[in-house]
Amino acid sequence: MIIFVPFKAKKVIKLHDTYFKPFITAQQIEAAIDTLVSQILADLGDEIPVFVGVLNGSFMFVSDFVKKYPKPCEVTFIKLASYEGVKSSEDIQRLIGLTQDLTGRTVVILEDIIDTGNTLGEIHRIFKNEAVKALRIATLFHKPEAYKKDFKLHYIGIKIPNRFIVGYGLDYNNLGRNLPEVYQIKDTQHMTNLVLFGPPGAGKGTQADFLKEKYNLVHISTGDVFRYNIKNETALGVLAKSYIDKGALVPDEVTIDMLNAEVEKNADANGFIFDGFPRTNAQAKALDALMDEKDSQINAMIALEVEDEVLVQRLLERGKTSGRADDADETVIRNRIKVYYDETAILKDYFSAQDKYHGVDGVGSIETITARLSTVIDSL
DSSP classification of residue 187: S
Choose the binding region for ligand AMP from 91-99, 218-226, 231-239, 292-300 (rule: CB under 6 A): 218-226
Tell whether the torsion through CA atoms of 36, 38, 39 and 45 is positive or negative: positive
Shortest reach from residue 6's CB to ligand AMP, in Å: 25
Which of 244, 273, 298, 300 binds ligand AMP (CB under 6 A)? It is 244
Choose the binding region for ligand AMP from 37-45, 93-101, 146-154, 244-252 (rule: CB under 6 A): 244-252
Active site residue 336: yes
Residue 155 exposure: Cα atoms within 13 Å on the Cβ side? 25
Active site residue 128: no
Give the CA distances from residue 202 to residues 137, 226, 314, 326, in Å, rounded to whole numbers and listed in that order: 62, 19, 8, 15
DSSP 100-159: S--TT-EEEEEEEEESSSHHHHHHHHHHHTS--SEEEEEEEEE-GGG--------EEEEE
Q: Does 350 bind ligand AMP (CB under 6 A)?
A: no
CA distance 175 to 265: 26
Are 208 and 219 contacting, i.e. CB atoms less than 8 angstroms apart?
yes
Shortest reach from residue 343's CB to ligand AMP, in Å: 9
Choose the binding region for ligand AMP from 108-116, 210-218, 240-248, 303-311 (rule: CB under 6 A): 240-248
Please say which residue, 36 or 196, places its beta carbon nearer to ligand AMP.
196
Give the CA distances from residue 233 to residues 228, 239, 321, 358, in Å, rounded to whole numbers and listed in that order: 9, 10, 22, 37
Beta strands in the chain (DSSP E): 13-15, 18-24, 50-55, 74-84, 87-96, 106-114, 134-142, 155-159, 165-166, 182-185, 194-197, 218-221, 272-275, 300-305, 357-361
Which of 6, 157, 169, 223 binds ligand AMP (CB under 6 A)? It is 223
Nearest C-alpha neighbor of 9 from the set 264, 199, 192: 264
CA distance 295 to 352: 21
Please say which residue, 255 or 296, places its beta carbon nearer to ligand AMP.
255
Active site residue 279: yes
| Binding track, positions 246-275, relative to ligand AMP; x by CB under 6 A | -xxxx----x--------------------
Name the catalytic one among 10, 324, 348, 356: 324
Name the catalytic one among 204, 212, 227, 314: 204
CA distance 198 to 196: 7
Q: What angle do CA 222, 223, 225 make, to 5 degrees?
A: 60
Shortest reach from residue 255's CB to ligand AMP, in Å: 4
Which of 22, 176, 200, 362 binds ligand AMP (CB under 6 A)? It is 200
What part of residues 289-348 is at the interface with ligand AMP (CB under 6 A)? 326, 336
| Binding track, positions 43-62, relative to ligand AMP; x by CB under 6 A | --------------------
Please say which residue, 157 or 201, places its beta carbon nearer to ligand AMP.
201
Residue of this chain nearest to ligand AMP (CB atom): 223
- Total residues contacting ligand AMP by CB under 6 A comes to 17
DSSP-based three-state secondary structure for 221: strand
CA 8 to chain centroid? 8
Please say which residue, 93 or 242, places its beta carbon nearer to ligand AMP.
242
Active site residue 314: no
Active site residue 324: yes
Please say which residue, 29 or 337, places its beta carbon nearer to ligand AMP.
337
Please say which residue, 248 or 345, places its beta carbon nearer to ligand AMP.
248
Give the CA distances from residue 153 to residues 66, 107, 146, 150, 216, in Å, rounded to whole numbers and listed in that order: 19, 13, 14, 9, 40
Active site residues: 204, 279, 318, 324, 336
Query: Which residues contact ligand AMP by CB under 6 A?
Result: 200, 222-223, 226, 243-244, 247-250, 255, 276-277, 279, 283, 326, 336
